[in-house]
Chains A and B, each alone.
Chain A
Amino acid sequence: MTYKGFMFKKGETGLHKLDPRVKFLISLSFVVCSLLFEELVVLAVLTLAMVPLASRGGVLKEWLSTLRGLAFLAVLIFAINLVFIFFGSGKSWEFPAAMALRFVVVVSSFSLFFLVTAPDEFGLALQQSRIPFDVVFALTMAFRFVPVLALEVQSIADAQRSKGLELDSGNLIMRIKRRIPLLIPLIVSSVKRSLEIAEAMEARGYGSGNPRTSLYKLKFRRVDLAVTVLTLAVLASAVYFRLYLPIPVCLGF
């Protein structure tokens, strides 16, 4: 399942131990670079550059599952761009391919970030970057509950299939219609859960007005500083390349 490519996987690798802000900067740099360039070669290099990172972080399998999950949308983006750009303006076929690859780089770089960053760590990073706690909390809760919701969908599907509901037969419209018995319990139980969580949080002093303290504080180590400098240097070089150097096209046509 694609959502597994966005679920934190525990580990003790160097990538896991990096400050979450640095990891976010790395992912953001991939996104910025992918937006700076529309040449297929560069976008391919960017994608491949994530392979050793995912491998070092021990999350290559999960990261590849994200790529597999993206394949359908990537092909769709390629096809749409091919119709409107390649056949429309006669531009190189490289452009539609680059657009599809740009989408892959953007999504998979965030997949890599979430695979090696615990939701709580991510929340802590945002909180210590002075983002209001309510916003941070809503964001981290949303990420934390993705696997819970996935399990809930499974339980609901089990219950409905046990009452004779066939989910995987019939035409597209029939299949969509048959998913209504899954959607309603999912929405109802999600809303119910969020209300219960809110009540339980308030009962434990959430919103008491006192300044919040933290159990953990993020420490910016030397290695974090070194990786930050390196990432910023790569980013600066990318901007320089974009502005002053020609980028080769893939096959020259």
Chain B
Amino acid sequence: MTYGPSTPKPSPDALASHGAHHDDHGPYAPVFAAGTAPRAELDELLTRYPNKMAGLLPALWIVQRERGWVSDEAMAEVADALDLTAAYVKGVVTFYTMYHQHPVGKYFIQVCTTTPCHVCGAEGVVDAFLQHTGCGELGVTSADGRYTVIEVECLGACGFATPVMINEQFLESVTPQRVPEILAALP
């Protein structure tokens, strides 16, 4: 049995961009600048909780939606907005599997391979995605930056084996045969 990583691997480019620069290599542009929609969204979210820290997971979701991943600079910004330390925020980010700590492909493909799907042939679906996206290896972004494929633990749709998530899109009962058609339908 060979298994891949459960989180995507950083590409060499992504590693280079860690540190002083953001993914677009320019100065870091804040997500929650005053007067912006994300700022208003965060302010509204914070009214739901008795303290600012509880807004951490929601704030990180906004960052990921706006930027595609959660950079160190973004963690520092979130820390600042919620009166936390950047180290604390990083500790939380690294606990959860869904926050990307480096850029991923335009289409982030998660294939469930936990037991109920495993017995229904999920490994074949993983292989089909790796082959047809050109990724070749789990967690690696394809050369054109279009795809990243990972195995994910239980997506909670076990009766619809094999469930696959492509970004926010949730697909049910995916078979290896359906994979080319699914990929072709992506814009």
Q: Do A and B come from one complex?
A: no
Residues of B within 8 A of A (CB): none
> A residues within 8 Å of B by Cβ?
none
